[in-house]
A and B are shown apart, each in its own frame.
Chain A
Amino acid sequence: MKQNVSWTYSSYRRKQTLRNWTVMLATFFCAYWAGISCKVDLDALRAGIPKGIEFISYLFPPDWTAFADMAMPALETILLAFLATVLGAFLSLFFGLAASSNIAPRWLRNLSRFLLATERSLPEIVILLLLISALGLGPFPGVIAMAFGCIGMLGRLFSDAIEEINPATLESIESVGARKLQVIAYGVLPQVLPSLLSNTIFRFEVNIRLSVLLGAVGAGGIGFQLYYSFQTLQYQRATTAILITLLLVFLSERLSNSIRKKLSQEAKL
């Protein structure tokens, strides 16, 4: 009897060990080929480290006088991220409603979910490249790209929040003879407002980071200053831009965390 039990345990262990080895070997195999295709070159990395450190020394001291020039681009970045977030959240709300099973008919819901998933697979920078080809460089394509970039993520989050609403509440509003839009205004929006705001603010934080990247491609703002300084070898000026970017990202993260904490307390009510 006792033997029987220990035999079962060891076979269980053996099966697990086998699985672990399979997973590890598969990972290693993938990593090996990925390494070849990525042209991983440890010698280059070893040689590159001193180069990198030497380069970092060029970055210091930051060019303090450039701060004045960068204040406006920083403000522009905030404005771009803000406008994009507001516009994006607004668009996402429509998609979010259309993608919720308790609001939209089944076919519309499935279609919207599919569109949202497609958008999520499309990196913002690709949208920006497209818009730049159509509209030229400038902050405007950047905002539109970020706004469209929101839709995939926010629309999905919004519709998940909306689908959590108890259908009985919506039905009870219908029972007084209200129309669909009224049901949305009274049954849906107040219920999802905290999660709506909290996700939107989180997206603002993401957009601040993103606007640095998009700015470099030509959407203006602090990202453009950063990239441009690098390209023109004004490294100390670039450091200033980096510091300002850090500050922006840090502040937006702080702001978003504190607001979202408050909102989540409110939502518990």
Chain B
Amino acid sequence: MNVSLDKQYLPSERYKRHAAYLSVLALVIIGLCTYFKFEPLLFITDFHYMADLVVEMTPPNFEVLWRKEKIFISILQTLSMAFLGTLVGSTVAMGLAFLAARNTTPHPTVGVIVRTLLAIERVIPSLVILLLFLIAVGLGPFAGMLSLAVGTVGMFGKLFANAIEGAEKEPIDAVYSVGASKLQVIRYAVMPQVLPSFIANLFYAFDINLRAAIGLGVFGGAGVGYEISMAMRLVRYRDALALICFTILLVFVVEKLSDWLRSRALGQDLLK
């Protein structure tokens, strides 16, 4: 035979290579696990604790959902935090996005500054922001809502700015060519192009913020997340399971609802 495979493509060489990679990886992981006293075997040896927990949690005590007014309020709080956080955050994000995008920024330096700020803001963990607001305005849903709003600005400022930069140039030039001002160009050439992506992202932000509102509630002392963590801490597991089931249902339903609203909004060119 006058042709042959490169040595590295021979199956036997291929296994040797893969086996070498895998064993190095396995060694590193095992080494690190031992160093941090991290025992995955716990999952098997301690599995009966999980089984016990499941037994203790069932059947869920759904009565808490209507017996306690507090629970009802906490659910409303979670929804409100997510809604207002999204609304305030995305409004600010939209404004900043026009300052940041290269084709609409009033001045290139402003654009660079805003983009840098957004980038820094995006990497700050939500927990840190929440802790700051807890100190500023105290424990409660307001602090949670504010930190969600700030998180939304970081998350969506950049997405919005990218959408604006992605807008087609021809319509913009066309509107400029009739002597329009920058604001008019934004209103008549940029807005119509980026609105669908804004709306889609708005609903996406709401979905994310709803989950985050549940998580941050545990620390912020508000909302259904806090109620779940309290129920767990007070060893009222059956109440906790009822709340968890309800939370899942809530997120599920709200997500479907927001999907439906979004498709309606996008389908009808709402707000144009």
**What is A's interface to B at a CB cutoff of 8 Å?**
16, 19-20, 23, 27, 30-31, 33-35, 37-41, 44-45, 48-49, 51-52, 55-56, 75-76, 79, 83, 117-118, 120-126, 129-135, 139-140, 143-144, 209, 212-213, 216-217, 223, 226-227, 230, 242, 245-246, 249-250, 253
Contacts and interface: CB of A to CB of B under 8 A. Distances in A.
A144 B229 CA distance: 18
A226 B84 contact: no
Given A126-B225, A133-B237, A139-B38, A45 B247 contact: no
A120 B127 CA distance: 21
A253 B119 CA distance: 11
A39 B76 CA distance: 12
Interface residues of B, number: 65
Nearest to A142: B38
A135 to B, nearest CB: 6
How would you classify the secondary structure of chain B's contact residues: helix, strand, loop or mixed?
Answer: helix
A144 B123 CA distance: 24
Give 7 nearest A-B pairs by CB, closest first.
Answer: A48-B136, A34-B80, A121-B251, A52-B136, A134-B53, A37-B80, A48-B137
Given A27-B87, A51-B135, 5 more contacts: A31-B83, A38-B145, A39-B142, A130-B232, A212-B125
B52 interface: yes
B43 to A, nearest CB: 7
B244 interface: yes
A246 to B, nearest CB: 5
B132 A56 contact: yes
20 contacts: A23-B271, A35-B80, A38-B142, A38-B145, A44-B138, A52-B136, A121-B252, A123-B214, A123-B225, A125-B225, A126-B225, A133-B53, A133-B232, A134-B46, A135-B46, A144-B43, A209-B126, A213-B125, A242-B124, A245-B128
Contacts, number: 163
Nearest to B211: A123
B86 to A, nearest CB: 10
A189 to B, nearest CB: 14
Contacts of B128: 226, 242, 245
Contact of B127 (A45, A51, A126, A227): A227
B71 to A, nearest CB: 14
Given A41-B142, A134-B50, A129 B218 contact: yes
B83 A226 contact: no
A179 to B, nearest CB: 20
